[in-house]
Structure 1
């Protein structure tokens, strides 16, 4: 869906033009400077009033001339759209109003979503009177799904303008968000800039805090960016949300991670219908591209029919959330258990017993490597199915629900291809070493799947697929190779892979493109999510398991210190400080309502335990273990 926004610009004459994004307060600032005055144009999507975009113009004299200063404005906006059937409504509190529906329903016979928009009319010019040194004008655009919501949002924005607090309320919301998480790295400036940029764009995409009535609609690979037609995914939701973006959000903001899972729960009915339409009477098959109904909206049938690993990717996010929070309410009361059951049933329905090999096969799929399709026993897909079924069995036990024998049988006997001679995982049955691969695939067995394997096999997988993976493929790929080499303490090889990511970062605003040749989605959140994971799960060695949050740091030589603040685990907030000489862990928050679960640090080799309470910190160097 496309909707032309109320875009406008200052007419530039003999001016110096300065444009910059202010990342911390989430603002884009455009400045025109002349000898007699400065005009500043600010644009921001209000962080807490989620339906509101604000624009402001401030004119300030540089010298006292006593003459009026006039700045001309131009706006190309007209209330028309190639995707919407729009009607003009009555003005509301000085704002123009249009409303309408999408021209085409998401699925045949389905509803056509409504759109309501209010915007402040833009004058042809603004004038700073002769006796004034400075004046600001503020303009609003509100977009929502109902007339009631759009008018409420616009009115709230006007009230904040009247009290002089519209912008400050936005910056306070951002300040609170930034205080909740921090990645502070003593290392190369480009690495630090890339990390802060990635974190900013991901935080911009998550549901707002303290807005319980807001329904979150998921995270698309390119957000709502609008590049070349067909390259930005139309705002649809893929595995990118669950596998690449979600773990970073979960580590800092489990409440936002929960909202992402709630989106998948709301889409469950569509996923059940997808499985039925594919001929499977039981279970849910999540769409390769999801939007408002949970039914498949991918324009090419092959992906929706064959790239079925998406269903396991969704459940892996639920697993990571559960083991990080122990939030049983999501499963007992809020629909999570129904989703778990449906996914487990789908995998069992999808498996076929092989008498010859005495194991279950999953046939006719496309793995994450989209160069290959209609293959049997994708290593990633099958390992993910096994993980889904084992998590389903584990949480059933926690909820005191009987575990179907079929789940255990299928999990234990599904085939995950492995070459005993070469000691590596073929991508699928019949894969020949040397065949080109589009993107990270088998290397994902090590992380995030944590599929059991020896360091020798992990190394062989990396060395087999690294030289044959498409160099100009999707941006998140090399981050996963970096994580693999960090696991093996191969710092130079890890750094070599991570360095490849920098060709996907565009200046001056650190926007990522999907492919290093500049093609594909812009504002590619998936690539940013992979890059962040290389630090948050690679440098730190964090691993979310059923019983603990593991960590085993591996920092490159040019990273002298890494501080990760705001890590959420079992209701607590933690700060990790990692240097070459020391690993320090501190509990910064341990709430009483609801009470956070008590923590202790455990040295895996010796089993020694060190209690961790609020305000307490331990240094492994002081204990002689760094």
Structure 2
């Protein structure tokens, strides 16, 4: 299977992957699905008790295929493309007399809306009607919801229901309401018409009133011809303000772009607020049905692998992810009590309540390093934003103090060594349980000798983020050759043609693996720039110590957020350029670049580019 064009932002092919798990996803902060899949998921809607809880399956009206009438297929060329510029999936049929296309997207501005639009255009002289077929296998059924067809609303079909089983005994059954455009078996460009477009909407809400209100909002935009236009404009605005680009091999550029797209498509548009986050699961919102992609549960993957990338570009979304931990603190407190400890023990796998929902007890009891990942995310957020209101008034400090209380009750005094031990844990190396004083759980550090030792004994079947972290380590030690080889090894988890990541390089495990994408992005974002030395973002500033790898001549980072300032960076082999492009609020502190080892301090004024020879340094607040 070959790409139809070598574009790092558009992933196109003349055929679909044989494995349907590898189809492109279309997702926003509230809804997610894979193209041509019979299932969609709603953020935060789970079915099943405790360890059986999983994302509830809602039948997808978007599962529609565009086809040519019988006898016309041999004359047609078809292309399938994921266009990250517009956040949409495009299927095109082109023949001697017409071009037909179907564009599928999760609306960027209206998160309760999924849509597809079909267009037919003449490309040759003629006036005869042109017909295309729409193949739909939609059935209003779900294994997870008690669904009922209701009366139509303004010509839209209506389906509603409740989940079958609450996550916890006595808990609420969640409610879902869906309205959608009926899909006809065929569409016809009439005699004499040159072009025509049809829009098909799917709207989901937590109540009938909410679904109808969201539909009316979408219909108002549709009536002015701007429904798709404002979605497209929002994506254009996103890419203008937030991006990570490398000058290097096409495969690497595509891996960076696809990772950025799939991860950030699951988040609200920057600059918007009011969205409630239910956490990010390893396979994203498009996956997570029963026995699929960790059932849609939230792990440490969110806090350690995804969060650092999100924080650097999108602090509002980063805060929303932390608010998920605040809302589920009650469950974390109960988890600790169930294990006879004080404070809060965040679930190894959580869903809506924060209570442990891991199907196997040993992981929930022993993988306590999740607490370290959660608090690290809170710490990084504070350093980047100085958002004291979140910690004082919105529950941030409650989480930090409760985790500290857990650690104090979890350690055991070792009189012989005269130190505290953490005994009986399972580190990230899940091949071993009951470990005393795990290096990772106790510390979270290390250097060259550790890289040499652990790289040699790390399982080649490890998950996607394995080699990205080794690459970061070698970049910190200024070994570009070894770092490049590990980065190249990392992208073997990227599948064709839509650059969907799998958990393991052989294609097994979770798909649309946001965890692996997060690890890979950290290798580029924090490794090539040196933002990772020593701790990405600290109370003193953002450190940089760039290193261009063997195959990378330039790294451009646009939209880095630090203390109310937006910054662009360009790192080349011989030079660094920094520019403050915007300030998020009046009174945002003025920044400067302090260069090492010279100690030179360069003011960073709004709208002014500052260039200097390639060196290490720190972006920090200017002192009066």
**Both proteins in one fold, TM over 0.5:** yes
Partner of 2:555: 562
Distance 1:624 1:549, change over 3 A: closer
Larger mean Cα displacement after TM superposition, 490-499 or 480-489: 490-499
User: What secondary structure, in the 3-state scheme, does the structure 1 residue paired with 2:443 have?
Assistant: helix
Partner of 2:428: 368
Partner of 1:595: 587
Aligned-partner Cα distance in 2 for 1:310–1:214 = 25
Q: How well do the aligned residues superpose, as a CA RMSD in angstroms? A: 1.8
- Aligned with 1:487 (options 476, 482, 496): 476
User: What secondary structure, in the 3-state scheme, does the structure 2 residue paired with 1:537 have?
Assistant: helix
User: What secondary structure, in the 3-state scheme, does the structure 2 residue paired with 1:90 have?
Assistant: strand
Aligned-partner Cα distance in 2 for 1:538–1:113 = 42
Aligned-partner Cα distance in 1 for 2:65–2:518 = 33
Deviation at 1:369, TM superposition (A): 0.7
CA contact (8 A) 1:48 1:173 kept: yes
CA deviation map 1:224-278 (0-9, x unaligned):
2348962412221111111011111111111111111111111111111111111
- Aligned with 2:528 (options 536, 539, 561): 539
User: What secondary structure, in the 3-state scheme, does the structure 1 residue paired with 2:59 have?
Assistant: coil
Distance 1:190 1:42, change over 3 A: same
User: What secondary structure, in the 3-state scheme, does the structure 1 residue paired with 2:344 have?
Assistant: coil
Q: Compute the TM-score of the two structures, normalised by the length of structure 2.
A: 0.86
Deviation at 1:619, TM superposition (A): 2.4
Larger mean Cα displacement after TM superposition, 17-26 or 107-116: 107-116
Partner of 1:8: 64
Partner of 1:176: 237
CA deviation map 1:48-81 (0-9, x unaligned):
1101101111111122322112222221001100
Partner of 2:184: 123
User: What secondary structure, in the 3-state scheme, does the structure 2 residue paired with 1:512 have?
Assistant: coil
Partner of 1:392: none
CA contact (8 A) 2:94 2:100 kept: yes
Aligned-partner Cα distance in 2 for 1:92–1:248 = 42
Partner of 1:394: none
User: What secondary structure, in the 3-state scheme, does the structure 2 residue paired with 1:100 have?
Assistant: strand
Partner of 1:323: 383
1:470 equivalent in alignment to 2:459: yes
Partner of 2:351: 291
CA contact (8 A) 2:180 2:203 kept: yes
CA contact (8 A) 1:227 1:522 kept: no
Deviation at 1:558, TM superposition (A): 2.2
Larger mean Cα displacement after TM superposition, 163-172 or 213-222: 213-222
CA contact (8 A) 1:107 1:297 kept: no
CA deviation map 1:545-591 (0-9, x unaligned):
22111111111132112221111111111121211211222222234
Deviation at 1:99, TM superposition (A): 1.0
CA contact (8 A) 2:273 2:316 kept: no
Residues 364-403 of structure 1 aligned to structure 2 (within 5 Å)? 364-383=424-443
Aligned-partner Cα distance in 2 for 1:145–1:248 = 30
CA contact (8 A) 2:289 2:295 kept: no
User: What secondary structure, in the 3-state scheme, does the structure 2 residue paired with 1:89 have?
Assistant: strand
- Aligned with 2:306 (options 245, 249, 253): 245
- Aligned with 1:507 (options 473, 496, 501): 496
User: What secondary structure, in the 3-state scheme, does the structure 2 residue paired with 1:205 have?
Assistant: coil
CA deviation map 1:355-401 (0-9, x unaligned):
111111111111011001111111111225xxxxxxxxxxxxxxxxx
User: What secondary structure, in the 3-state scheme, does the structure 2 residue paired with 1:620 have?
Assistant: strand
Partner of 2:30: none
1:277 equivalent in alignment to 2:346: no
User: What secondary structure, in the 3-state scheme, does the structure 2 residue paired with 1:367 have?
Assistant: coil
**Which structure exhibits the higher relative contact order, with contacts defined as CA atoms closer than 8 Å and separated by 6 or more residues?**
2
Aligned-partner Cα distance in 2 for 1:624–1:4 = 53
Deviation at 1:604, TM superposition (A): 3.9
CA contact (8 A) 2:288 2:297 kept: no
Q: Which has the higher strand share?
A: 2
User: What secondary structure, in the 3-state scheme, does the structure 2 residue paired with 1:122 have?
Assistant: coil
Deviation at 1:117, TM superposition (A): 0.9
Aligned-partner Cα distance in 1 for 2:127–2:155 = 31
Deviation at 1:204, TM superposition (A): 0.5
User: What secondary structure, in the 3-state scheme, does the structure 2 residue paired with 1:173 have?
Assistant: helix
Partner of 2:28: none
Residues 299-318 of structure 1 aligned to structure 2 (within 5 Å)? 299-318=359-378
Aligned-partner Cα distance in 1 for 2:422–2:617 = 45
Aligned-partner Cα distance in 2 for 1:122–1:603 = 61
Moved over 4 A (4+): 622-626
Aligned-partner Cα distance in 2 for 1:141–1:99 = 13
Partner of 1:413: none
User: What secondary structure, in the 3-state scheme, does the structure 2 residue paired with 1:344 have?
Assistant: helix
Aligned-partner Cα distance in 2 for 1:183–1:317 = 21
Aligned-partner Cα distance in 1 for 2:127–2:261 = 42
CA deviation map 1:434-480 (0-9, x unaligned):
xxxxxxxxxxx24xxxxxxxxxxx11100111011111211011000
Between the two proteins, the alignment pairs up a number of residues equal to 553
1:29 equivalent in alignment to 2:121: no
- Aligned with 2:276 (options 184, 191, 215): 215
